Structure 1
Amino acid sequence: MNDSAPSVRISKQHWLALLNELSDARRQHHLVTYRALIERLELPVPAMQTLTAALEYLAALDARADRPLRSALVISQGASRLPKTGFFECATRLGRFSGPADGAAAASWHAGEVARVFEFDYPEMP
């Protein structure tokens, strides 16, 4: 997110619901689309910006704690079954990924990150 972008905040209720949805997806070894999360969480407008900001914040928390990025479980509805390019840009800023945000390298890294998320035992959140 650039410095001129307005700050987007997510309510504690929505944040905890997001963590719960990602935890369920991880336990079931499923990926979830951005649209499904927005609908399940009933995020208010601007829903996509709110979800994106929350996922980037979660990625930063996971990276800081040296954990796999749970935000990797959220993907686009399109045929690629990959996250949006912003996810890869965020992962690059966090030092987790380098390379173009689309193509074979991104798909391969994403598949590995998803596998690590599925295998990792995350601490329970308050």
Structure 2
Amino acid sequence: MTSVSISRHHWQALLAELDAARRQRHLVTYRALVERLQLPTPAMRTLTAALEHLAALDARSERPLRSALVISQGASRLPRTGFFECAARLGRFSGPADGAAAASWHAGEVARVFEFVYSEEL
């Protein structure tokens, strides 16, 4: 895996966007986040790496995965398969990265994120 870094400014902005989405009980698309954060290229790879890092931090602290709030623009309204692969690596999800099991697990994780109060220590 190649190392991709995100600036502190962009990291804080990402956390703020996800917190706003959580409080409003909304999901946000990858594309909308890239545009709102004005990430430098390779923007999508940077965003993906940041979301996976955040998922690892959340998993380590036994919090619901905030990265579950980020979804593809497609009809599925689900995150990309990489999200499910990351969640599986973190021991949070098992099964195929597409299909009913993934959709059901994702819906539950989103509900947990909406209910959880994240402290601002990050």
Normalised-by-shorter TM-score class:
over 0.9
Opposite residue 102 of structure 1, the aligned amino acid is D
Matched, 1:47 2:43: yes
Equivalences, count: 122
2:100 to 95, 98, 104: 104
Q: What 5-or-longer segments of structure 1 have no aligned partner? A: none
Q: Tell me how far 1:26 sits from its aligned partner.
A: 0.1
Matched, 1:34 2:34: no
Which residue in 2 is equivalent to 1:85?
Answer: 81
Q: Percent identity?
A: 81
Q: What 5-or-longer segments of structure 2 have no aligned partner? A: none
Opposite residue 123 of structure 1, the aligned amino acid is S
Distance (whole Å) between structure 1 residues aligned to residue 108 and residue 2 of structure 2? 33
CA RMSD of aligned residues (A): 0.7
Distance (whole Å) between structure 1 residues aligned to residue 12 and residue 44 of structure 2? 17
The TM-score normalised by the length of structure 2 is 0.98
